[in-house]
Chain A
Amino acid sequence: MSPAQWDLPPELCCRPMAFVALTGLDVVYNAIHRAIWDAFCANRRADRVPISFKVLLGDHEYPKCRTKRTSYEWYIPKGILKTGWMNKHLNLVPALVVLFYELDWDDPQWKEKQSECATKVEIVRTSLQGRNTKVAVVLIQKKTPLPPGEDLVASERASALCGACDLSGKSLFVLPHTDHLVGYIIRLESLDVEYLSFAVNRNFYIAEFIYKDPHTFHVLSCRYYRTAYSLVHELRAHETNMLEIKTMAGFINYKICRLCFQHNTPLDAIAQFRKHIDLCKKKIGSAELAFEHTAWMSKQFQSFGDLFDEAIKLGLTAIQTQNPGFYYQQAAYYAQERKQQAGQLCSHEPGVVYPAPDPLETPSGALDFYGQRPWRQGHQSIDPPDSEKEKQGILALQVKERDVLHSELVIALLSNAVAQFKKYKCPRMKSHLMVQMGEEYYHAKDYTKALKLLDYVMCDYRTERWWSLLTSILCTALKCSYLMGQVKDYITYSMELMGRASILHEEQKSRIEKNLIKVLMNEVPQPEPDCDLTSVKTAQSLWSDRISLAGNNEFTIEVQDYVPFVQCKAKFLYPSFHIDEPVQLHVYVRADCPHPVRFSKLCVSLSNQEYNQYCLLEDTSKEKDILETSTQENMCLVPGKTRKYCFKFVAKTEDVGKKIEITSVGLMLGREMGRYVYLNWRGGWGDAASSHETLQASRSFKRRTRLPEQQLDWDTVTIQSSTMIISRVPKISVQLTHEPPALTNEMYCMIVTIQSEEDTVAKDIKLTAGLKPGQDASLTQSTQITVNGSEVCDDSHPALLPDISLGDLQPGQKPLYIHCMSTGSRILLFHVAYSVSATVEGKDINCKCHKDETVTLETVVPFEVAMKFVSSKFEHLERVYVDIPFLLMMDILSASPWPIELVNSEVQLASSMTPIDQPQSQVEGVTLQTSECASECFLLKCPPVQNGTSTVASGHYFISWKRKSAFAETSVVRTIVILPHVMLENIPLYVHAELPSFGRVRESLPVRYHLENRTGLVQDVEIGVEPSDAFMFSGLKQVRMRILPGAEQEMLYNFYPLMAGYQVLPQLNVNLLRFPNISSQLLRRFLPSRIFVKPQGRNGDTSIEAA
């Protein structure tokens, strides 16, 4: 039996095609025949009927048909399916023999040709010897036939030919040899289909053999296969024919499933297969050959998987839970089981050899029936005929099985399954199968491949935290790495197996730890348990070679990809350190292994590598027994105890304001001169399991438990992997003395007092003062600062005065002047920087310190100035008149909370106005308290202007003032106020009166009125004086006169007051006849309207009474 004995025969797996024999064609010498043959064979596409053609000679010997039996009662079958049967019906016995014969309907020698044709048909019939094969005749004709019914000769001769050849009319065809050969051929083929149904039916013979009725024909092949299938199982099964029954069941099941897939009923296929498996699962057969059963089972699953996969390739869709992968996987399981059983059943004593006359040898070299034993073919009784032969046969099979490369079979099946599960989104299933593949490779001693596969899937289980599975994989991987002498892998896996992710028992961990220590001491480790003995021998020599091998003995393990037995957490004590204090760094290390372990180096890498030298712990002892542990020592890790290592260093002054990060922590196990391994924690902490543990710990209530002194709870150690270096805390005080609010435009004085509280001299003090950056841009433009208070700032002064050097400071003061040109609040910054030398950890450093003070300053308007124009009678003026005097009045209202001293004031008149007298400040030296008001006025007049009415500028008003402060010397501020514009108008007649300042009752009061004509025209003026109760008067009561241009008329009246007190003067009415719009009221404004009349003297009582 070949190793492929479980494979399905190729005849079974191929697509069944009807076999049609063509005879009478001479394809070698006859070109026409060749063309016909080519038309049949060439371009056989899928849409053409599945037929296999063969050209045979007319007298070809077909396989002999056994004589038909008339009764089956005495018939004892020797087996179910003969091995040659399928081949015979596929390739030897045709379903149809087509005889080609060249004959035209109008052939002159028709009679002779007809009988020759009949003879040929007879020869074919004879050689077929009564098989159920049909015969058809094709006439190759040179002429194109006429349409049917028109050619009377043709139909007559056709029926004659049919009669002569004993053919039905349907079996006679005409093939005109014309251009459309292929078309005719295709038509011919379709005509053949009728016969083909019979041809396909040959497949049912399997069923029919059991029926023992070869003459029953069926249409639905599938249904008959099913019947055949159930019949197979109805056969009496016993140990001797179990294999035959299973083989047959397997064949039929294959056919059914295949048909189901072809008919797109995959569920039927799956159901049939399940039924098949359930039925056959328990039919183990001979216990000594149990591996045969599992091999067969494996094959069943594999073939079904193949069928399923094939169907998918043809368009079937599979799903996650139903895909070929499951069948391959199951096939692999059975293959594994087979291997196990083979291991049990075939492990013979070394003396046992393959039996001498090979019981598996058959005379023909092949079996007659599928699934039978070669040494008792055709035997159908329950008990084996020859028990000795039986034993020999079984032994032969067992010996053969021993040589089968089971692992290869398993791996092939598993990799098939992996490919499928990858397709159907089953990553975990895939990983699992890959683990199995790895294990199988391990068993097959292909450790490199095993390790590659295991290493690949390991991280999946690690990230999913399935520790039980990870441990199992790691154990196999450790064995592989041991057997290959892979030092780094060995160390890595050992470290993980000793750690907290491993579920191994203490004693196993302890064994691994001892081995690891051996490896680190450059010794040969103890072999892993359950390893193949020969492999162990090889491994031991490999390890011994490694010892002598110089170099290549340092390994670095990046911890974040594993869960090693050492955990580490590094942290800075604080998130920031001042430059004048040492930076403190704690490294916590903890081991989970069963025995204490010593390490030889602990180093911390920081982002600034210059500090690395301060964060290094090295074993200085050069003793040999470096790995000998003594629990008291500093560099020894006691299982379950957290150790803390403290490092301190002084940061460099350049690093002020910078961040220092822990880039990694390295822990060295082993010796530098021997073999050592570096565990490297990137970022200073954490391996593959840490983040989850930290999360769990943060949720846990357990963190509140108190541990005894000096014992640290690992979970409570928090991470601080970076720190900031910040400048030294300044020991100075900065005080600001000032009197807010500031007044607009004043030189506001602020006194900065810097007091040093340093122990040593504060050097290089620099003060930066002014507007704090980042405020409104308009503030920057309206704020100026200077140290010089004697002059007022202008635009050249900045808003922020940087680096005012104050030298080495003994405590001192500095006045500053701020010029705020707009109101509102602004923030001022006072930044004092200095350097001072300090001593940290015995190191002198020059520290730069700085202190910021900010103050919010309000600026208010110091005073408000109100201006108005009034007449000489203090009446409000809307407009002024040319050459007529008026008053300009200023009211200065203090709004400052502080007293203001008005130093001086001055009016600078525009050219359109002239002062009447020398204008002198009337408020000079006046001090205004809050909300007090100072007023002054100036007498002015306007010279004539060109055109009658216009608006004229008045000029500027300057107020020089200063804050009256006892606190600091303040400078005088000159505030400019722009005087308002005023309307100027010409007046045609100017009237003014000349009269004493008071009158006395019953004493004459002379009043002189002056009328000036201010026009270039002669004016007629009507003047009248209205009577008054308070006065008697003499003079013209009513007069009309003419005033020449530029001339002045004088009118004199004597008023005689009758009553004392403020009395209204008799009203003077002036009417300008030329200027009717100049009213008497307007003119009257220039004249006094009242006068104070004093009472009469001592003897004036009567006069008062009379009044």
Chain B
Amino acid sequence: MAVCIAVIAKENYPLYIRSVPTQGELKFHYTVHTSLDVVEEKISGVGKALADQRELYLGLLYPTEDYKVYGYVTNSKVKFVIVVDSSNTSLRDNEIRSMFRKLHNSFTDVMCNPFYNPGDPIQSKAFDSIVSTMMVQAC
């Protein structure tokens, strides 16, 4: 399960970012922010190889000692970042993918809300609860 989930706008500012409260929130913010380096590199790479354009899942962005950072980018260049504890080895790639899919679906719902102004921070309760299901439950 994730320790941090973030939604990043096309212009690379955070729309939504939530992390487990037990660890430093700031650290996760930095982790997500630095992972954008890799995301940007991958997106620019995808542009060249047209065949891969439909693949939104970017896979493991980079491993740190303690965390694994996964990335996903929508067609509108909104990025999802999921940070997972490195010790959590049971998590498979497929599960990460399905987490991103769920996140994307929920995000689409948020975007469909006529009262949501695209580009504003996400404050949807529905989205929040979806994220909660994917987060590590703080014990």
| B partners with A | yes
A: residues with CB less than 8 A from B are 277, 320-321, 326, 330, 333, 425-429, 432, 435, 464-466, 468-469, 472, 692, 695-696, 699-702
The A-contacting residues of B in range 1-38, CB under 8 angstroms, are: 11-14, 17, 25-26, 29-30, 33-34, 36-38
Query: How close is A1089's CB to chain B, nearest CB, in angstroms?
Result: 98
Could you say which residues of chain A place their CB within 8 Å of the CB of B37? 320, 425-429
A701 CA / B30 CA spacing, docked (Å):
32
Instruction: Find the A residue at minimum CB distance from B17.
Output: A468
Q: Given known contacts A333-B65, A465-B13, what 9 new A-B pairs fall within 8 Å (CB)?
A: A321-B62, A426-B37, A427-B37, A428-B33, A469-B33, A472-B26, A692-B119, A699-B119, A702-B117
Is A699 within 8 A of B33, CB to CB?
Answer: no
Is B62 within 8 A of A326, CB to CB?
Answer: yes
Could you say which residues of chain A place their CB within 8 Å of the CB of B52? none
Could you say which residues of chain A place their CB within 8 Å of the CB of B26? 468-469, 472
Is B41 within 8 A of A425, CB to CB?
Answer: yes
Which bracket fits the contact residues of B? 20 to 34
Is A696 within 8 A of B41, CB to CB?
Answer: no
Could you say which residues of chain B place their CB within 8 Å of the CB of A429? 34, 37
A509 CA / B73 CA spacing, docked (Å):
36
Is A695 within 8 A of B12, CB to CB?
Answer: no
Is B117 within 8 A of A699, CB to CB?
Answer: yes
Given the known interface contacts A425-B41, A428-B34, A464-B13, the answer about A700 and B29 at a Cβ–Cβ threshold of 8 Å is no
- CB of B47 closer than 8 Å to a CB of A: no
Is A426 within 8 A of B34, CB to CB?
Answer: yes
Instruction: Find the A residue at minimum CB distance from B44.
Output: A425
B contacts with A: majority SS: mixed
**10 A-B pairs with the lowest CB-CB distances in the bound complex, closest first:** A465-B13, A426-B37, A429-B34, A700-B117, A321-B62, A428-B34, A428-B37, A468-B29, A432-B34, A696-B119
Is A466 within 8 A of B34, CB to CB?
Answer: no
Is B38 within 8 A of A320, CB to CB?
Answer: yes
Query: How close is B45's CB to chain A, nearest CB, in angstroms?
Result: 10
Given the known interface contacts A465-B11, A701-B114, A701-B117, the answer about A320 and B33 at a Cβ–Cβ threshold of 8 Å is no
Query: How close is B113's CB to chain A, nearest CB, in angstroms?
Result: 11
Could you say which residues of chain B place their CB within 8 Å of the CB of A277? 65
Could you say which residues of chain B place their CB within 8 Å of the CB of A468? 14, 17, 25-26, 29
A426 CA / B33 CA spacing, docked (Å):
11
Q: Choose from A330, A428, A432, A696 the contact partner of B117 (Cβ within 8 Å).
A: A696
Is A432 within 8 A of B30, CB to CB?
Answer: yes
A580 CA / B25 CA spacing, docked (Å):
61
Q: Choose from A321, A333, A428, A465 the contact partner of B36 (Cβ within 8 Å).
A: A428
Instruction: Find the A residue at minimum CB distance from B12.
Output: A464
A953 CA / B41 CA spacing, docked (Å):
92
- CB of B82 closer than 8 Å to a CB of A: no
A695 CA / B13 CA spacing, docked (Å):
15
A contacts with B: majority SS: helix
Is B33 within 8 A of A432, CB to CB?
Answer: yes
Query: How close is A1097's CB to chain B, nearest CB, in angstroms?
Result: 116
B: residues with CB less than 8 A from A are 11-14, 17, 25-26, 29-30, 33-34, 36-38, 41, 61-62, 64-65, 114-115, 117-120
Could you say which residues of chain A place their CB within 8 Å of the CB of B118? 699
Could you say which residues of chain B place their CB within 8 Å of the CB of A465? 11-14
Query: How close is A903's CB to chain B, nearest CB, in angstroms?
Result: 82
Instruction: Find the B residue at minimum CB distance from A461.
Output: B33
Instruction: Find the B residue at minimum CB distance from A435.
Output: B30
Is B29 within 8 A of A469, CB to CB?
Answer: yes
Query: How close is A471's CB to chain B, nearest CB, in angstroms?
Result: 9
Query: How close is B64's CB to chain A, nearest CB, in angstroms?
Result: 8
Could you say which residues of chain B place their CB within 8 Å of the CB of A330? 64-65
Could you say which residues of chain A place their CB within 8 Å of the CB of B119? 692, 695-696, 699
Q: What are 8 A-B interface contacts by the 8 Å CB criterion?
A: A320-B38, A330-B65, A464-B33, A468-B26, A468-B29, A472-B26, A699-B118, A702-B117
A1033 CA / B118 CA spacing, docked (Å):
120
Could you say which residues of chain B place their CB within 8 Å of the CB of A464? 11-13, 33
Query: How close is B55's CB to chain A, nearest CB, in angstroms?
Result: 17
Is A321 within 8 A of B117, CB to CB?
Answer: no
A605 CA / B92 CA spacing, docked (Å):
63
Query: How close is A545's CB to chain B, nearest CB, in angstroms?
Result: 35
Is A469 within 8 A of B65, CB to CB?
Answer: no
Query: How close is A505's CB to chain B, nearest CB, in angstroms?
Result: 14
Is A696 within 8 A of B120, CB to CB?
Answer: yes
Query: How close is A1007's CB to chain B, nearest CB, in angstroms?
Result: 110
Query: How close is A698's CB to chain B, nearest CB, in angstroms?
Result: 10
Could you say which residues of chain B place their CB within 8 Å of the CB of A333? 65
Could you say which residues of chain B place their CB within 8 Å of the CB of A326? 62, 64
Query: How close is A849's CB to chain B, nearest CB, in angstroms?
Result: 48
Query: How close is A479's CB to chain B, nearest CB, in angstroms?
Result: 16
A468 CA / B17 CA spacing, docked (Å):
10
A428 CA / B29 CA spacing, docked (Å):
12
A277 CA / B65 CA spacing, docked (Å):
9
Query: How close is B57's CB to chain A, nearest CB, in angstroms?
Result: 16
A464 CA / B30 CA spacing, docked (Å):
13
A701 CA / B119 CA spacing, docked (Å):
13
Instruction: Find the B residue at minimum CB distance from A700.
Output: B117
A330 CA / B67 CA spacing, docked (Å):
12
A321 CA / B114 CA spacing, docked (Å):
39
Query: How close is A813's CB to chain B, nearest CB, in angstroms?
Result: 63
Given the known interface contacts A426-B34, A469-B33, A472-B26, the answer about A320 and B120 at a Cβ–Cβ threshold of 8 Å is no
Instruction: Find the B residue at minimum CB distance from A426.
Output: B37
Query: How close is B81's CB to chain A, nearest CB, in angstroms?
Result: 12
Could you say which residues of chain A place their CB within 8 Å of the CB of B114? 701
Query: How close is B24's CB to chain A, nearest CB, in angstroms?
Result: 10
Could you say which residues of chain A place their CB within 8 Å of the CB of B17? 468
Instruction: Find the A residue at minimum CB distance from B116.
Output: A701
Query: How close is B71's CB to chain A, nearest CB, in angstroms?
Result: 11
Could you say which residues of chain A place their CB within 8 Å of the CB of B30? 432, 435, 469
Query: How close is A301's CB to chain B, nearest CB, in angstroms?
Result: 9
Could you say which residues of chain A place their CB within 8 Å of the CB of B25? 468
Is A701 within 8 A of B115, CB to CB?
Answer: yes
Could you say which residues of chain B place their CB within 8 Å of the CB of A695? 119
Could you say which residues of chain B place their CB within 8 Å of the CB of A432? 30, 33-34
Instruction: Find the B residue at minimum CB distance from A330.
Output: B65
Query: How close is B53's CB to chain A, nearest CB, in angstroms?
Result: 21
A426 CA / B41 CA spacing, docked (Å):
9
Query: How close is A504's CB to chain B, nearest CB, in angstroms?
Result: 13
A432 CA / B117 CA spacing, docked (Å):
30
Instruction: Find the B residue at minimum CB distance from A334.
Output: B65
Query: How close is B109's CB to chain A, nearest CB, in angstroms?
Result: 18
Could you say which residues of chain A place their CB within 8 Å of the CB of B14? 465-466, 468
Query: How close is B17's CB to chain A, nearest CB, in angstroms?
Result: 8
Query: How close is B98's CB to chain A, nearest CB, in angstroms?
Result: 24
Query: How close is A457's CB to chain B, nearest CB, in angstroms?
Result: 11
Determine which residue in A427, A429, A435 has the highest number of CB atoms from chain B within 10 A of its CB, and name it.
Answer: A429
Query: How close is A284's CB to chain B, nearest CB, in angstroms?
Result: 15
Could you say which residues of chain B place their CB within 8 Å of the CB of A320? 37-38, 41
Could you say which residues of chain A place their CB within 8 Å of the CB of B41? 320, 425
Query: How close is B43's CB to chain A, nearest CB, in angstroms?
Result: 13
A695 CA / B41 CA spacing, docked (Å):
27
A432 CA / B33 CA spacing, docked (Å):
9
Could you say which residues of chain B place their CB within 8 Å of the CB of A469? 26, 29-30, 33
A21 CA / B13 CA spacing, docked (Å):
67
Could you say which residues of chain B place their CB within 8 Å of the CB of A425? 37, 41
Instruction: Find the B residue at minimum CB distance from A469.
Output: B29
Instruction: Find the B residue at minimum CB distance from A427.
Output: B37
Determine which residue in A466, A469, A692, A701 has the highest number of CB atoms from chain B within 10 A of its CB, and name it.
Answer: A466
Determine which residue in B29, B33, B61, B117 has the highest number of CB atoms from chain A within 10 A of its CB, and name it.
Answer: B33
Query: How close is B87's CB to chain A, nearest CB, in angstroms?
Result: 10
A455 CA / B62 CA spacing, docked (Å):
28
Is A466 within 8 A of B33, CB to CB?
Answer: yes
A320 CA / B36 CA spacing, docked (Å):
12
Is A321 within 8 A of B33, CB to CB?
Answer: no
Could you say which residues of chain B place their CB within 8 Å of the CB of A701? 114-115, 117
Q: Choose from B29, B61, B64, B120 the contact partner of A466 (Cβ within 8 Å).
A: B29
